[in-house]
């Protein structure tokens, strides 16, 4: 794994992540304080436990030009369909820095999912970026098709590992959040869900055809001074962009949600730099299966939240297929914290016992 001691996201330099609960910034080895899961080169051939190494997979030219890193959990079983999470860094950062900041490595190992960490291209300032929407963040007008590249990354993982095609997810921060929205706009028929932290979709809804249904979680601090919660004109970005509420409204319309955006469950405590349970959870009602739309507002939250240990498990717990959540609710009813992590339950008379 690479080593980085600083994170640059959305043109903001972070010299430390010391506000995170349970530890300070990543050290020069990129450690999160837990044993890292194996990272394999993208040219490696998959291994079949019974027959040994499989034939080398053909590498897409886009991937050959821009290799990515892939974390494979120690318990990976090539006979079992495995979820895939594609994490997209913010402007100026990297896949490794983003995964470390979000503490995704230990979660991937514990939950048993594949974690792909690609990097954007480099602009004239030497900063990595994604060509996401007109607002963010190709300030040089370099162009290029990052949608094609990222879909090639997904397909490359699929050729090498037994990926569960029903559980391909994308999560991004800032510029990466914009890119996650764009991938859902163009390839929602292949992506089960996206999580965008302080990103936004196109301001012009016509540019988001949204094939199929994709569940969308928008997470945004209401005091973000880089990608503003209320949206607006260019500011620090390249062009205008929609607000957090307009972004989720676009997805609610695309997914066919019939209800309104409403409070849903108790507040969450995911930002260790803000006292109490600072994150308000809202969800659109009456969304079809596979098309959930939620907005988590970090009250008093900034562009780079001081995530503690709760963020990564909360992100992953939101991602399982909506049909699985629906089945649990049909069997047990909706607990007070729904849509928090779906759990198993058992009934004894009028009592319901929930367990992980």
CATH code of the domain in which 103 resides: 3.40.50.1820
Ranking 33-37, 151-155, 312-316, 323-327 by mean pLDDT, the lowest is 33-37
Q: What is the pTM of this model?
A: 0.78
pLDDT (0 to 100) of residue 212: 84
Which residue range forms the structural domain that includes residue 257? 7-320
Q: Which two tokens stand for residue 327?
A: 């089945």
Only one residue has tokens 């019939």, namely 258
On whether residue 148 sits in a domain, the answer given is yes
On whether residue 108 sits in a domain, the answer given is yes
On whether residue 223 sits in a domain, the answer given is yes
Within the chain, residue ranges assigned H as helices are 61-65, 95-101, 104-111, 146-160, 175-187, 244-255, 311-318, 322-332
Ranking 163-167, 238-242, 311-315 by mean pLDDT, the lowest is 238-242
On whether residue 2 sits in a domain, the answer given is no
At 68-118, the pLDDT tens digits run 999 999 999 999 999 999 999 999 999 999 999 999 999 999 999 999 999
On whether residue 333 sits in a domain, the answer given is no
Quick check: helix, strand or coil at residue 52?
A: strand
DSSP run (H or E) holding 53: strand 52-53
Per the structure, how many domains does the chain have? 1
At 146-170, the pLDDT tens digits run 999 999 999 999 999 999 999 999 9
Q: Are 209 and 185 in contact (CB under 8 A)?
A: yes
pLDDT (0 to 100) of residue 93: 98
């Amino acid at each position: 794994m690479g080593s980085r001691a600083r994170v640059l996201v959305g043109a903001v330099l972070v010299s430390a992540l010391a506000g995170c609960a349970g530890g300070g910034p990543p050290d020069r080895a990129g450690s999160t304080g837990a044993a890292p899961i194996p990272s394999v080169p993208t040219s490696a051939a998959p291994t079949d436990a019974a027959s040994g190494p499989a034939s080398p997979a053909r590498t897409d030219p886009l991937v050959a030009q821009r290799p990515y890193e892939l974390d494979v959990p120690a318990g990976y079983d090539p006979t079992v369909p495995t979820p895939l999470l594609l994490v997209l860094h913010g402007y100026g950062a990297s896949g490794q820095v983003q995964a470390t900041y979000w503490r995704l490595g230990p979660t991937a190992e514990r939950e048993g999912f594949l974690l792909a960490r690609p990097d954007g291209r480099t602009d004239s300032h030497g900063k990595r970026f994604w060509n996401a929407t007109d607002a963010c963040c190709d300030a040089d007008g370099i162009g290029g098709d990052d949608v094609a590249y990222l879909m090639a990354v997904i397909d490359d993982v699929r050729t090498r590992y037994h990926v569960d095609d029903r559980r391909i997810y994308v999560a991004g921060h800032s510029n990466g959040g914009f890119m996650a929205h764009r991938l859902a706009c163009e390839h929602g028929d292949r992506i089960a869900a996206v999580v965008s932290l302080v990103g936004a979709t196109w301001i012009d809804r016509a540019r988001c055809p949204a094939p199929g249904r994709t569940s969308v979680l928008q997470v945004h601090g209401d005091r973000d001074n880089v990608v503003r919660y209320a949206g607006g004109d260019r500011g620090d970005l390249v062009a205008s962009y929609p607000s957090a509420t307009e972004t989720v409204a676009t997805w609610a319309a695309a997914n066919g949600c019939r209800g309104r955006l409403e409070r849903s469950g108790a507040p969450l405590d995911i930002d260790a730099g803000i006292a109490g349970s600072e994150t308000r959870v809202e969800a659109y009602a009456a969304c079809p299966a596979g098309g959930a739309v939620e907005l988590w507002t970090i009250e008093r939250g900034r562009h780079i939240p001081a995530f503690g240990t709760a963020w990564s498990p909360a992100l992953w717990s939101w991602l399982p297929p909506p049909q699985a959540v629906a089945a649990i609710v049909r069997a047990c009813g909706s607990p007070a914290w729904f849509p928090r992590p779906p759990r198993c339950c058992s009934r004894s008379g009028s009592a319901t016992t929930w367990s992980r």
